[in-house]
Chains A and B, each alone.
Chain A
Amino acid sequence: MIEVENLTRYYGPIRAVHNVNFQVAKGEIVGFLGPNGAGKSTTMRILTGYLPASSGTARIAGFDVFYDSLEVRRRVGYMPETVPLYPEMTVQAYLNFMADLRQLEDGKHAVGRAMDACGITPRARQPIGQLSKGYRQRVGLAQAILHDPEVLILDEPTIGLDPRQVTDVRELVRDIGQEHTIILSSHILSEVSQTCNRMLIINDGQIVASGTPDKLTEQVQDQDRILVRIDGVSDLQAISVLKRVDGVLSVQSIEDGAYSVSCIQGSDNRAELARAVVEQGWNLLELGTMKMSLEEIFLKLTEGATIEDLTGGPLAEPGMEMEEEEYV
């Protein structure tokens, strides 16, 4: 559905996007993830035909975004960052205007449907300038889905919303995503990992990693980590016992009675660890594998390192997150 090849964009001497390649299949929800200024918005603007690329090509539904711009624009719904709207217009008048611009045959019906989907029907007659940020965001979304586009491009759709609204918008995106191909950008990792099938992590204009959240974790994790929770023993004792188990590289105390045990990759040491604890006559309260949190992966990747640098790189910092489904 979307094919991007060697896309590069300069703003004067500044390189905003560098040699970006990716593809998005029909029906996929893909998240662009990266710190501010990583090139997310620029890439999206190129895809919508608003900006041209300095070099490289991008095609949507087989149409080149530069040469067949009008065809692309007919097929794409776009919600820019900070949703620019005409404050003097009412919600309804604005959506009617966009429906006219898109030359929809049954504009009235389309506007009603989009307003219902975004939950703004009660605000239809209010001037946009009087709406809260959350509602404005929804008007932007309604505008983007008005023509039932094949591809939906959402630039930071939840920025500046309260938690409740964030949840609403995410649900909306997931709903829409069942029939549409969606690219959304965010610098909030949990958002992307919750709504998207696949993440593209962008840093400094380049894609540094891509894949499902699980796959990314797998790629970046260089050691197995196991959490052990023991009752009523001093840290010193516990660490010295745990360290002696085969395959254990290091042990760190996370909190009272809980320890993070780093092991050689691929060696599942849980049985040995359990035995060691029980042999001491201690109470084993908890035992499970730990994963590097997505946040840590994100931070690692956007610190200027590529995925190759990371695998085999230094240990991740403590403060790891538990993943519930990983428990034994």
Chain B
Amino acid sequence: MSNIWTITKRELYAYFSSPIAYVTTAAFLIVQGYVFYIIIDQVQQAGMDVALGNYYTLFLLIFYTAMVTMRLLAEEQRSGTLELVLTAPVRDWELVIGKYLASVILFLLLIVISFYQPLVMMRYGEPDLGTMASGYLGFFLLGSALLALGTLTSTFTSNQVVAAIISLGLCILLLLVQFVSPQVASTTWGQILNRLTILYHYFDFLEGLIKVQHVVYYLSLVAASLFLATQVLQARRWR
């Protein structure tokens, strides 16, 4: 356990000693803040679906998670530092989880900073606090799942840009399946496909519904991605 925390601490150190953490966080907050302003100005409504349910914010989130996770393992592989970490008594999964946790902590920080939005809504309207909490839980789970996918793609290559592109492609695909599926929605495959998309499980949270199946979906996505990431790292042993 202490190894995971050691890795996480170093990763946070790396985030904040380079511009990555500042730039990605600032870019997300500025653009998402602007989107928030425009929408709230038009609909004149205070609700979670306004702040976190629009597709601009969701696409932004996908870009943000890809940028934040692209370097996690790709950079270690490129610079060779992976060799030093993995010849210390550290298990592969400890490294993967430690790195992933650092990105989650960075994401939590972003969420905390964006709390000015509910405050604004509370100042000018009367949003339901329960819905707000469940909305943020959904946003956090969605982001965590995307971060896990990013961590996985970061193990595929030693090139950060390639890792980011694969991650973007994968996440956008998982999101776009949502739009394809209505045409085949009546079929069994359509139903299955729909339930596999990342947003199918998201919108209930914004309405104030915390369903176990949705939470399980995101947590399984995290677990599966991190498990696969560990396997990819271990695969170097068989190459």
Residues of A participating in the B interface, judged by any CB pair closer than 8 Å = 11-12, 45, 48-52, 70, 73-74, 76, 78, 80, 82, 84-86, 88-89, 93, 97-98, 100-103, 143
Q: Is B27 an interface residue (CB 8 A)?
A: no
Chain B residues closer than 8 Å to A84, beta-carbon distance: 79-84
Chain A residues closer than 8 Å to B7, beta-carbon distance: 101
Distance in angstroms between the alpha carbons of A55 and B2 in the assembled complex: 34
Contact: A101 with B85, CB < 8 Å? yes
Give per-residue flags for B1-41: 1 if the beta carbon is below 8 A from chain A beta carbons, else 0. Answer: 01100110110011001100000000000000000000000
Contact: A51 with B3, CB < 8 Å? no
Chain B facing A: main interface SS = helix
Contact: A78 with B84, CB < 8 Å? yes
Q: Is B176 an interface residue (CB 8 A)?
A: no
Contact: A97 with B6, CB < 8 Å? yes
Distance in angstroms between the alpha carbons of A97 and B90 in the assembled complex: 12
Q: Is B239 an interface residue (CB 8 A)?
A: yes
Contact: B13 with A93, CB < 8 Å? yes
Contact: B2 with A100, CB < 8 Å? yes
- In the complex, what residue of chain B is closest to A97 when comparing beta carbons? B10
22 contacts across the A-B interface (CB closer than 8 A)? A48-B87, A50-B86, A51-B236, A78-B87, A80-B83, A80-B87, A85-B84, A86-B79, A88-B17, A88-B18, A89-B10, A97-B6, A97-B10, A98-B84, A98-B88, A101-B3, A101-B6, A101-B7, A101-B85, A101-B89, A102-B89, A103-B2
Distance in angstroms between the alpha carbons of A33 and B34 in the assembled complex: 63
Chain A residues closer than 8 Å to B84, beta-carbon distance: 78, 80, 84-85, 98, 143
A94 → B minimal CB distance (Å): 9
Number of interface residues of B (CB under 8 A): 27
Chain B residues closer than 8 Å to A85, beta-carbon distance: 81, 84
Distance in angstroms between the alpha carbons of A76 and B90 in the assembled complex: 13
Chain A residues closer than 8 Å to B89, beta-carbon distance: 70, 73-74, 101-103
Contact residue among A80, A89, A93, A101 (Cβ-Cβ distance under 8 Å from B88): A101
Contact: B88 with A102, CB < 8 Å? yes
- In the complex, what residue of chain B is closest to A143 when comparing beta carbons? B84
User: Given that A102-B89, A103-B89 are known contacts, is A50 also in contact with B83, CB under 8 Å in the complex?
Assistant: yes
Distance in angstroms between the alpha carbons of A48 and B86 in the assembled complex: 9
Contact: A103 with B3, CB < 8 Å? yes
B153 → A minimal CB distance (Å): 22
Distance in angstroms between the alpha carbons of A45 and B83 in the assembled complex: 9
Chain A residues closer than 8 Å to B10, beta-carbon distance: 86, 89, 97
Chain B residues closer than 8 Å to A88, beta-carbon distance: 13-14, 17-18
User: Given that A52-B237, A85-B81 are known contacts, is A76 also in contact with B87, CB under 8 Å in the complex?
Assistant: yes
Contact: B14 with A51, CB < 8 Å? no
Chain A residues closer than 8 Å to B82, beta-carbon distance: 84
Contact: B18 with A100, CB < 8 Å? no
Would you list which residues of chain B between 164 and 191 have a CB under 8 Å from chain A?
none
Would you list which residues of chain B between 69 and 84 have a CB under 8 Å from chain A?
79-84
- In the complex, what residue of chain A is closest to B238 when comparing beta carbons? A52
Contact: B87 with A86, CB < 8 Å? no
Distance in angstroms between the alpha carbons of A50 and B239 in the assembled complex: 12
B13 → A minimal CB distance (Å): 7
Distance in angstroms between the alpha carbons of A85 and B14 in the assembled complex: 12
Distance in angstroms between the alpha carbons of A171 and B89 in the assembled complex: 28
Contact: A100 with B6, CB < 8 Å? yes
Contact: A89 with B13, CB < 8 Å? yes
- In the complex, what residue of chain A is closest to B239 when comparing beta carbons? A11
Chain B residues closer than 8 Å to A78, beta-carbon distance: 84, 87
Chain A residues closer than 8 Å to B79, beta-carbon distance: 84, 86
Chain A residues closer than 8 Å to B80, beta-carbon distance: 80, 82, 84
Would you list which residues of chain B between 181 and 239 have a CB under 8 Å from chain A?
236-239
Contact: B83 with A86, CB < 8 Å? no
User: Given that A88-B17, A100-B2 are known contacts, is A50 also in contact with B85, CB under 8 Å in the complex?
Assistant: no
B112 → A minimal CB distance (Å): 24
A323 → B minimal CB distance (Å): 39
A26 → B minimal CB distance (Å): 21
Given contacts A51-B237, A84-B80, A86-B14, 12 further A-B contacts (CB under 8 A): A11-B239, A50-B86, A84-B79, A85-B84, A86-B79, A88-B14, A88-B17, A93-B13, A97-B6, A100-B6, A102-B89, A103-B2
Distance in angstroms between the alpha carbons of A74 and B89 in the assembled complex: 6
A9 → B minimal CB distance (Å): 11
A48 → B minimal CB distance (Å): 4
Distance in angstroms between the alpha carbons of A48 and B14 in the assembled complex: 26
Chain B residues closer than 8 Å to A49, beta-carbon distance: 87
- In the complex, what residue of chain A is closest to B80 when comparing beta carbons? A84
Chain A residues closer than 8 Å to B238, beta-carbon distance: 52
Chain B residues closer than 8 Å to A12, beta-carbon distance: 239
- In the complex, what residue of chain B is closest to A80 when comparing beta carbons? B83
- In the complex, what residue of chain B is closest to A153 when comparing beta carbons? B87
Chain B residues closer than 8 Å to A73, beta-carbon distance: 87-89
Chain A residues closer than 8 Å to B17, beta-carbon distance: 88-89
Chain B residues closer than 8 Å to A11, beta-carbon distance: 239
- In the complex, what residue of chain A is closest to B14 when comparing beta carbons? A88
- In the complex, what residue of chain B is closest to A78 when comparing beta carbons? B87
B87 → A minimal CB distance (Å): 4
